[in-house]
Structure 1
């Protein structure tokens, strides 16, 4: 029976990729120290989709939430389950998840980031999940209260209420995301402290993240999504084709992308939202790791939005993207050719060995 289970549930775009990379790359050492990451990172993702009964979940996925929970319960030490999509679970789904892991001591870990940085990264996340709405339409929807999904699925406050209310206050944890310029390992040490991971147990690599796209790259992807029609409608096929061969292979590899964000005309609105968020979290009983002041935006600068790009800029980026995809396809083709030649060589070698064995057996004199 597990002693403690740490459920890191989100929010998205709060350094979760970095934390998860450290955890999974040190899985063996953690296990020797009595801390289990059950299954694989893909298993956590599949279990999350199953728990949420998401319409985009892969019907052929092998891992369900019940399977992940069963594996966790069998462990005698501590368990870590980490997936930023868990935070979007409903109250009933969260309750089911917590109940399935009992009687272990359940800890809920939520990360929070300042809204000035959260808004553009959330919009981009939606574009990378096949959405096609413009950045300003997204901001306007949030401002007019027409996109409650943002508050439900991408901010710490409501996640804490849905999940944190299910466990005692001392088992709820809010990690604030350090401001730009902070040592890259600050975030890891905040998480490690909550999960009782000793200093020095995990080897830390350089900063790893889920790189953001520039304004032009994001706009190219948005227009591609718009043009896809009924192609790759669900998450798994979209990830296998568009995410793998367009986003990961080409768009994310481009350098010097034009940064984008909320315009200064919205600065007062964003700051007001941040103050309200900080007040709500001050009133919510939980363990705060970091400083709530880090949720107050700083260094608010005027930036352009993808909507402000002229068609010439988007066209140039699209042409360069096509060139990049041609190189990517050529690389895949060469790799496939090499693989074919290797397989053919092995088959030929095997056939020759077989002929030699038969020749030797027929050339032996009968007794």
Structure 2
């Protein structure tokens, strides 16, 4: 019997970082249970996606090109009954790129897993994720561009047009082997998404090490997003290269400094409700009629009232100034802690050298 390969392709901002953190943190336990996770590092999975989608840049490391090349051999050597590959940026792949990936999946029976979230929460989340990648577009401008490009293959829709993604992948994988896992609505049990995802893989969610997640992929609040947007607007484009900005701008400033701070959630304006609800109903109808394996309630894809703001959610200059001061205080405090530790370490080393000198002189005196 051909062993299955579960290819988790996204969508973006549908709990993918949470799921990947759990699975990558539980590789050994899952292997014992018969599920091989490949690659075993998030960066390698990202490199695999870059190779599949022809997105390498000159600054990408040479070993990044080895992941796709080694995929067939690693799948052949795996001993488990099934395997999992997870990378949320696979979903926008073009037909030729999908074929390239599937050709590298050895003789596995490929199953495609799509995690899907209601647009009311996904749209603001994807916008602020773009800020964490160096973009500087305002939320109103972002929404205007969504309206202008709706129904086109514009990149802004790649991770939101669920029917288009499903139709494209169905050209390569039968609909009955495409699993749509819906993200539970607000207020649902925290572990429900994981249980739904694990049910597709046929494993017990209890096997996963919850402590392996660490810090979640923390989204920005409205005020922090505005500060990051303004900072990005002032950074030259040549410094937004992903291997540079990702370490400093995203994982450094956005996640470690701005992430998790108090503030208002980023919500869709009430004026977008009718459009968002109508589009979401179309998504639900497409999933119901498509013959896909749906895990969860397809109506989880309909936005809740809590997704919409009663006003335009303006951020005042005073709020921007306060967030900026808080961020600078955090950054300077961390630098001071580092500097103090360096100073203390240097002082301790100097004292130890002095003590060794005195001990040496004392020994010489005693020998005389």
Note the residue ranges of structure 1 that are not aligned, 5 or more in a row: 356-367
Superimposed CA distance per residue, residues 105-146 of structure 1 (whole angstroms, 9 cap, x where no aligned partner): 111000111111111101111111111111000101111226
The question of whether the paired residues in 1 share the 8 Å contact of 2:218 and 2:255 is answered with: no
Question: For residue 224 of structure 1, what is the aligned residue in structure 2?
Answer: 231
1:57-76 matches, within 5 Å, as 58-60=59-61, 62-64=63-65, 65-76=68-79
Distance apart, 1:282 and its partner CA: 1.7
Partners of 1:332 and 1:94 lie apart in 2 by 47
The question of whether the paired residues in 2 share the 8 Å contact of 1:171 and 1:287 is answered with: yes
Partners of 1:332 and 1:196 lie apart in 2 by 46
1:127-166 matches, within 5 Å, as 127-145=131-149, 148-166=154-172
2:114 aligned with 1:110: yes
Distance apart, 1:176 and its partner CA: 0.5
Partners of 2:35 and 2:50 lie apart in 1 by 24
Specify whether residues 186 and 133 from structure 1 end up closer, same or farther in structure 2 by C-alpha distance, changes over 3 A only.
same
SS in 2 for 1:144: helix
The question of whether the paired residues in 1 share the 8 Å contact of 2:220 and 2:260 is answered with: no
The question of whether the paired residues in 1 share the 8 Å contact of 2:270 and 2:311 is answered with: no
Structure-1-length-normalised TM-score:
0.86
Which deviates more, 56-65 or 152-161? Answer: 56-65
Question: For residue 246 of structure 1, what is the aligned residue in structure 2?
Answer: 253
Question: For residue 178 of structure 2, what is the aligned residue in structure 1?
Answer: 172
SS in 2 for 1:288: strand
Partners of 2:142 and 2:124 lie apart in 1 by 9
Partners of 2:87 and 2:254 lie apart in 1 by 21
Number of residue pairs matched? 350
Superimposed CA distance per residue, residues 266-310 of structure 1 (whole angstroms, 9 cap, x where no aligned partner): 11111111111111222212100011111111124425556x212
Which deviates more, 182-191 or 166-175? Answer: 166-175
Aligned-pair Cα RMSD in Å: 2.9
Partners of 1:329 and 1:100 lie apart in 2 by 46
SS in 1 for 2:112: strand
1:278-317 matches, within 5 Å, as 278-300=284-306, 301-303=308-310, 308-317=314-323
Note the residue ranges of structure 2 that are not aligned, 5 or more in a row: 361-368
